[in-house]
A and B are shown apart, each in its own frame.
Chain A
């Protein structure tokens, strides 16, 4: 089994499965450890904000979730594109596995944003440029998930999903800037997030801890889901049969 390691090594589902098995316990431990640490620093150590009081503490979940939602869309489009162009099954499977996690982070970002907006802005929702683009991002995720699950033929679903994800990735900046323009035309932005005062060191530290926790969680859950999808896909393949025998 001492094959040289190339960048195509883990494109074989059996080897990817073994890799995910090896790293997943570490990823889960890292995710939980960092999340506990980050939440502790964020909720107990970081000082109360001078203008927003305690309500600001939701940003320790909100901001990392919003970052993840955008990065995961690009990652999904990237792997879907790789799978399409190189006919790499595992890359397409990975893209399918990323989509629900990305949609979940988008939803969390919107939901925690509403929780933050109620005490701070006095309303659950404003049609601010960022909120609106994030909502459209959620629609893009839902569209991808709906399309790949609606197509029964797996290979066609992979390719069609890849095309849609790539078109969506190209459109995200266009959507963002048009929404910003639309918003500034209709009403001045009530509160600008970019003009927020500089953050204290501990706040930034807690936010970074939570970001790394979300990264570890995203890797862990995507790997686990990709494993399940690969098993379902390759049900009759020799490596799945071998695994089945091992388990019995």
Chain B
């Protein structure tokens, strides 16, 4: 019989992100002249800047917003490999 290892306690605290943080997809391409992202909505039109911030996926779900204690906004390292 296998004994199940106790669940790491910190994982019992995992919760979803707020609904509002999840945004529809947009595609980004590089503007070669300005070196900024060019944001294209699902309708093929350029997104206004406010929408960009809502949609930016520098973290997988929450955009340009931040975190008091964690990596939602964390810096260099959301993907564990940035140095």
The yes or no verdict on A and B being binding partners is no
Question: Which of A's residues lie within 8 Å of B, judged by CB?
Answer: none
